[in-house]
Structure 1
Amino acid sequence: MEIIFNVQTFLVHVYESSLMYLLVYFLFSRYRPMHPRVSKNRLILIFITTILIQAFFSTFEYFIINVTITTILLLVVSFFFFTNWKDLLISTIIATAVIDIGEGTSLMLLKGTAVSSQDIAEISLNPLNTMLLLTIARLISLGLILLVLRFRKMRYREGTLPTIYWITFLFITMKDILWVLILADSPVKISFYYWAAVIPLLPVSYILFYYTRRSIEKMVEVQVDSKVLDEKNKYYEQQLITMKQTLESQRTVRHDLKNKLSPLIYLAESGKTNELVEQVQELGNLSVLGKIYAESGNITIDYIINLKLQALANKGVKIFCEINVPNDVKIAPFDLSTILGNLIDNASEALVYVSDEKYFNIKISYQVGFLMIQVENSFDGIVYLKNNKIISRKEDTENHGLGLKSIEKISKEYDGEMIVQYDNNQFKVTVKLLG
């Protein structure tokens, strides 16, 4: 087998490979909102090296070798953009698909103009004609990439999408590649009007798939919002029960106070000073809420903190509380009470499983326009996960993890975030809210 290296052909393939990897960079850099894993200068050097290797092997025009080299080089390039193997593999397949579809479509357009195979071979002998055809192919691929990126644009509310989603997407992509290759290599002469009718059908499956995915996503979002709202309603129902218990406790205190005040006048008139002092000291021990943990001036914060922390203290939990916030925090009381209530309730649930020292620390501060809520508690190091999301140990499996989900949803509504950290002994949640 004679191997001939042609400099002119090599330069044409350098141009082809440059356009191709420019598209690859455009796709990879926008496929996920992240920066390349290497510096800009090193990335440029990697792309130049890749282009030269691609052009060198393409010059010899051996199909199997070219396909193998292209696949390997795309995998290598994607490695510098992605760490997850699924992203690496899928991005490579998408890049291969859009490039092949672009080349196949441009060739179909050329065949559709009633040009014979012999004429196509003669046209390809002229480097300028080849470069023009490749430019058209890359422009078609660019259009496909824009469609893919628009298709990919979404909010990652629930982490990664199901595997069946990607299997379906890859099946559609591979089907279109095979369709293009079969039609492009067809020995039968096909009219231009046929291609004009067929080519627009290529993106139809992607468009339908995209809108199907959007409809499913909206449906799931409505279901999640409904569950979160139900969780909020249950929480407020618990709050009403707690308030009722507090009022009953106050009524009992008032009754006891009335009974204890009655004999004070008699003791004072009788001159029984020692007994009077004892009665007054007993009155000082009467309390409705017990220890006051929060006196920030914010009614919502003070009420939730004092009520919840007293309940924890009654269970033998060591409490540390530090609150420094203004009165006019621009966070809706409904949202603020939901966040604080869920944070403390989650900690209370975790402390049940702790056999050693039980502690709960909460710090609420106001920093540069943001309300910062930091909660730490001891726990046994056991975390239940479902789809990479933390869920509770409660028997109510239908509403697993809705507490943290509610907090995360509210934090995003206030342009903030929720950060969860834990080790074998401590669980920490930080909530940041713009307010």
Structure 2
Amino acid sequence: MTTIFYLFSNVFHIYATYQFSNVFLQKKKESAKSDIVLFTLYYIINSCAYLLFGNWIINLLSNFVPYCLIAIYHKNKFIYSIGSSFILCAVLIVLDTLVVAIQSVLNIHSIFFEQGFVSNIVMVAFVNIVSHSFFKKNQLNVSLPVMYYITVIIIPFVSIIIGYLTAVKLNIVSLICSVIILLINVDMFYLYDNLINLFSEKYENNIIEQQNKAYLNQLHLMQESQMKIRFLKHDMKNHIINMQSLLSAEKYDQLKDYLAETNDYIYSNNVIIDSGNETIDSVLNYKLAPLENNSVEKSYHVVLPEQILISSFDLNIVICNLIDNALEALSLLGENDEKKITIDIVYKQGYIKILVGNSFDGIIHKDKRTRKNDEINHGIGLKSVQNIAEKYGGLLKTDVSDNWFETSVIMYEK
């Protein structure tokens, strides 16, 4: 019966270790299935080491070595893998020592304490508090209510008391009660994790929606600007007739003013891109106008048909986000740095490919989505682009080399 108690308890020890790995290790999203296999092997090795040898050093190594190998498997740096393994062992030693000290002071004799159930409950609670407090596990750094931390502390504490009262004697009833208590704790933490992720996702979608509304307003301004250009082209014949009349009448001052006014109008509505698609041209001309009078090296290649079976609104959000990111990166470069931007937008039968490349300072923060102070309301532009690309069966890809950052998007017509 003691062995069965331990084996059930060790399941939750491995679960706590798995949660620990999610905090300290860099993992890919698709690693969940491989983790099931890896941590199952971890459980077998750790359980066998304890049951066969019963030596604390071997037991410690049976935690250190498998965890370190898992960290290396996920392509974490060797030093980082060793370091996180040491941290895991240190946490296990501290928590076990704490539980043993409490057991000794209170003179508690219970299988619930002796077979690691209490240590595992404390471990799960500790990892969850650390992940949501210090490492800000939720993507948008949503601040958690105080009640969350109170619940995280109270439920394990109450569980320990109930477990102590029900598991004084070693029998099947105490085993079932102990397992149920552990399941309740794990389920509670799992529920909170999912609620936090759901809240974060809704919050992120709300920000994306607000950004899209802002881009819609910009789109209206761009279209108004493009309309002015069309009006200018349409009225150019009348403008020429007026200027010829002023010239014939030798009204040079008025002609000078008229030319200056016309020049200002043309300058303020400069045509940079003329691909044949007025909607896309409006966006590009509006966004790229600030670059016309500076030292940025520019390369534009935009060839589009007049009609594309992709929502103009979605297409403009993609283009606006990519160009905004490029302009922000260029603004962070120094005066003596080489500044370059490349835009390549082409339509081929059935799909459109958008490529935006720019020079940048080479600094990338993997743990941050933006370098702006307001990280919550910025830095999700690429997530919005990815959502739209997937909506049209396409994909988003980013490439970084030296001081060059390039983003490409493919979207297929519906």
Normalised by the size of structure 1, how large is the TM-score? 0.54
The code of the aligned residue for 2:328 comes to E
Taking a change above 3 Å as real, the CA distance of residues 294 and 158 of structure 1, as seen in their structure-2 partners, is farther
How many residue pairs are counted as aligned between the two chains? 327
Aligned 1:23-422 pairs, distance under 5 A: 33-34=30-31, 59=52, 61-84=53-76, 85=80, 89=85, 158=139, 189=169, 192-193=172-173, 195-248=175-228, 251=231, 257-261=237-241, 290-291=270-271, 293-295=273-275, 297-315=276-294, 317-324=296-303, 329-354=308-333, 355-356=335-336, 357-365=338-346, 371-381=352-362, 385=365, 387-392=367-372, 399-422=377-400
Contact 1:231 1:402 in 2 (8 A): no
Change (3 A) 1:31 1:400: closer
Q: Output the CA distance in 1 between the equivalents of 2:409 and 2:237.
A: 42
Q: What's the offset of the Cα at 1:375? A: 0.9
Q: Is the 8 A contact 1:300 1:336 kept in 2?
A: no
Alignment-mate amino acid for residue 33 of structure 1? E
Residues 260 and 55 of structure 1: is their aligned pair in 2 closer, same or farther, counting only changes over 3 Å?
A: closer
DSSP-derived class of the 2:30 partner:
coil
1:51-102 per-residue CA deviation (whole Å, 9 max, x = no partner) reads 6x9968954x434354234224423542452344589659988xx9xxxxxx
**How many Å separate the matches in 2 of 1:263 and 1:162?**
65
Aligned counterparts of 2:349 and 2:162: Cα–Cα separation in 1: 57
Instruction: Determine helix, strand or coil for the equivalent of 1:158.
Output: coil
Taking structure 2 as the reference length, the TM-score comes to: 0.56
Structure with bigger gyration radius: 1
SS in 2 for 1:321: strand
Matched, 1:430 2:408: yes
1:23-66 Cα offsets, whole Å, 9 max, x none, are 99xx89x99624999xxxxx9xxx8xx96x9968954x434354
Q: Which residue of structure 1 aligns with residue 117 of structure 2?
A: none
The answer to whether the 8 A contact 1:58-1:66 is kept is no
- Structure 1 pair 182–88 and aligned structure 2 pair: CA distance change class (3 A): farther
Unaligned regions of 5+ residues in structure 2, if any? 1-6, 22-26, 93-110, 112-136, 249-258
Task: Kindly state the Cα deviation for residue 361 of structure 1 after the two structures are TM-superposed.
Answer: 0.9
The Cα shift of 1:362 comes to 0.9
Pair 403,90 (structure 1): closer, same or farther in 2 beyond 3 Å: farther
Does structure 2 retain, via aligned residues, the 8 Å contact 1:420–1:430?
Answer: yes
Residue aligned with 1:202, SS: helix
Change (3 A) 1:399 1:76: closer
- Secondary structure, counterpart of 2:316 in structure 1: helix
Is the 8 Å Cα contact of residues 78 and 88 (structure 1) preserved in structure 2? no
Mapped partners of 1:180, 1:69: distance in 2:
32
Aligned-pair RMSD on alpha carbons?
A: 5.8
State how far apart, in whole Å, the 1-side matches of 2:72 and 2:159 are.
26
Cα distance 1:190–1:54, how it changes in 2: closer, same or farther (>3 A)?
Answer: closer
For 1:399, give the aligned amino acid.
N
Query: What is the aligned-residue identity percentage?
Result: 22
8 A contact 2:302–2:345 mirrored in 1: yes
The amino acid across from 2:355 in the alignment is: Q
Provide closer, same or farther for how the CA distance between residues 56 and 366 of structure 1 changes in structure 2, counting only shifts above 3 A.
Answer: same
1:390 and 1:401 in contact (8 A); partners too: yes
Unaligned runs of 5+ in 1: 1-15, 38-42, 97-116, 118-155, 269-278
Shift of the alpha carbon at 1:288?
A: 8.9
Classify 1:80/1:365 alpha carbon distance in 2 versus 1 (closer, same or farther; 3 Å).
same
Determine the C-alpha separation between the residues in 2 that align with 1:414 and 1:169. 43
* Cα distance in structure 2, aligned partners of 1:267 and 1:69: 95
Residues 159 and 369 of structure 1, relative CA distance in 2, 3 Å threshold = farther
The whole-number CA distance in structure 1 between the counterparts of 2:235 and 2:305 is 36
Rounded Cα–Cα distance in structure 1 between residues aligned with 2:239 and 2:173: 101
Cα offset, 1:344, TM superposition: 1.8
